[in-house]
C-alpha cells in the first residue's frame, strides 16, 4: 500500500513508548504495539500505556496485539479492550485462539475496535475466511474457563522450569517474560548455537528477521521437552561460551 514503516528500537527489551510518540508525524496512520511483545515476551506497565494514549494524536489508530493476553498473571497488566477501547480511544485490539486456546491450525481470531474501522474491514474480508469447525471450536473454548486456568498454571510452571534450564547453561533471558516463551541474547555465536541445537534435535527461533541477529526465542514445553533442551545445551554450549 506504499506505506513507509518507521521502526523504533526497544528499550530494555520493551517498547520505548515515548520514542514511538516522538516518531509519529502528521501522515502516521497506525502505531502497532504487541503487548506482551513477541519475541521478547515482555510488556509495558499501565502507567506507560496511559501516558502513551494521552500523548498520541487522535488521527493515529493504535493496534494493540494481545495474542498472549490469557497467559499474563500480573494484576497490573492492562486489558486494552476493557480500558482503552471502552474509554473511546482510537484503538483496535487483536486477540486470537491460536495460543493458549490451542487452535492455531484453525486460524481463528478477532478484533475489537471503532465501528468505522470494523466497517471497512467488512468490505474487504473474504466471504469464507473462518471455517465452521473453527467457529465451533472457538465458541467451545470460550465456555471452558477451568481448562484455560489449568493451562495458565501449566505454562507458569513450564516457564519457571525453562528459566532454570537456561540458567544452568549461563543463558540469561529477557524479563520479566509474561507469555509462553523466553528471549535470550546469544551474541555472535547465535548461528552456531542454533545449528548445534538443531543437530541435537531441538528447534529454537533465530531472530534476525525480528532485527535481533544475536538472539533466539525458546518456547516453554513439557518436562520432557526441557530435559531434551538441557541435554542439547550441554552438548552445544561450553561454560556459557555462546552467550
Q: What is the pLDDT of residue 129?
A: 85
Fold category of 17-142 in CATH: 3.40.640
- pLDDT at position 240 over 60: no
pLDDT at 243: 40
Higher pLDDT, 240 or 78: 78
Q: Is residue 239 over pLDDT 50?
A: no
State the average pLDDT over residues 8-28: 96
Nearest in space to 117 (alpha carbons), one of 62, 163, 52, 57? 62
**pTM of the entire predicted model:** 0.91
Please give the class, per CATH, of domain 146-236: alpha beta
Model confidence at 241, pLDDT cuts 50, 70, 90, reads very low
pLDDT per position as a tens digit, 87-96: 999 999 999 9
* Residue 192 neighbours by CB under 8 Å, 6+ apart: 242
Q: 98, 218, 234, 207: which is closest to 158 by C-alpha?
A: 218
- Of 195, 179, 233, 170, the closest CA to residue 13 belongs to 179
Q: What is the mean pLDDT of residues 160-189?
A: 95
Mean pLDDT of 181-200: 96
pLDDT for residue 38: 96
In the predicted structure, residue 116 carries a pLDDT above the cut 90: yes
Is the confidence at residue 49, as pLDDT, over 80?
A: yes
Q: Are 87 and 54 in contact (CB under 8 A)?
A: no
Helix orientation angle between 190-199 and 223-236, rounded to the nearest 10 degrees: 120
Residue range 131-160, pLDDT digits in tens: 999 999 999 999 889 999 999 999 999 999
- Whether 222 shows a pLDDT value over 50: the answer reads yes
Share of the chain above pLDDT 70, in %: 98
pLDDT confidence band for 2 (50 / 70 / 90): confident
Q: How far is residue 200's CA from residue 149's CA, in Å, rounded to a whole number?
A: 33
What does the mean pLDDT of the chain come to?
94
Where in the chain are the domains?
17-142, 146-236
Q: Give yes or no for residue 127 having a pLDDT over 90.
A: no
Confidence of residue 238 (pLDDT cuts 50, 70, 90): low
**Identical topology for domains 17-142 and 146-236:** no
Q: In the prediction, which pLDDT does 181 show?
A: 98
pLDDT value of residue 120: 94
Stretch 97-125: mean pLDDT: 94
Amino acid at each position: 500500500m506504499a506505506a513507509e514503516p518507521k521502526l523504533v528500537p526497544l528499550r530494555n527489551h520493551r517498547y520505548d513508548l515515548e520514542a514511538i510518540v516522538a516518531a509519529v508525524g502528521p501522515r502516521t496512520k497506525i502505531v502497532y504495539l504487541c503487548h506482551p511483545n513477541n519475541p521478547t515476551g515482555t510488556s509495558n506497565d499501565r502507567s506507560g500505556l496511559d501516558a502513551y494514549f494521552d500523548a498520541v494524536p487522535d488521527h493515529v489508530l493504535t493496534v494493540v496485539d494481545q495474542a498472549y493476553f490469557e497467559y499474563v498473571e500480573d494484576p497490573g497488566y492492562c486489558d486494552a479492550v476493557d480500558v482503552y477501547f471502552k474509554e473511546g480511544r482510537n484503538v483496535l485490539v487483536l486477540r486470537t485462539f491460536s495460543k493458549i486456546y490451542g487452535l492455531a491450525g484453525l486460524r481463528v481470531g478477532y478484533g475489537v475496535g471503532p465501528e468505522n474501522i470494523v466497517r471497512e474491514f467488512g468490505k474487504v474480508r473474504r466471504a469464507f475466511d473462518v471455517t465452521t469447525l473453527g467457529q465451533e471450536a472457538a465458541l467451545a473454548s470460550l465456555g471452558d474457563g477451568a481448562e484455560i486456568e489449568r493451562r495458565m498454571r501449566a505454562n507458569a510452571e513450564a516457564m519457571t522450569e525453562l528459566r532454570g534450564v537456561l540458567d544452568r547453561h549461563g543463558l540469561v533471558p529477557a524479563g520479566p517474560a509474561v507469555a509462553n516463551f523466553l528471549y535470550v541474547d546469544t551474541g555472535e555465536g547465535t548461528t552456531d548455537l542454533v545449528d548445534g541445537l538443531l543437530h541435537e534435535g531441538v528447534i529454537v527461533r533465530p531472530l534476525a528477521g525480528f532485527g535481533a541477529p544475536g538472539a533466539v526465542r525458546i518456547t516453554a514445553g513439557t518436562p520432557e521437552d526441557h530435559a531434551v533442551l538441557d541435554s542439547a545445551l550441554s552438548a552445544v554450549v561450553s561454560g556459557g561460551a555462546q552467550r
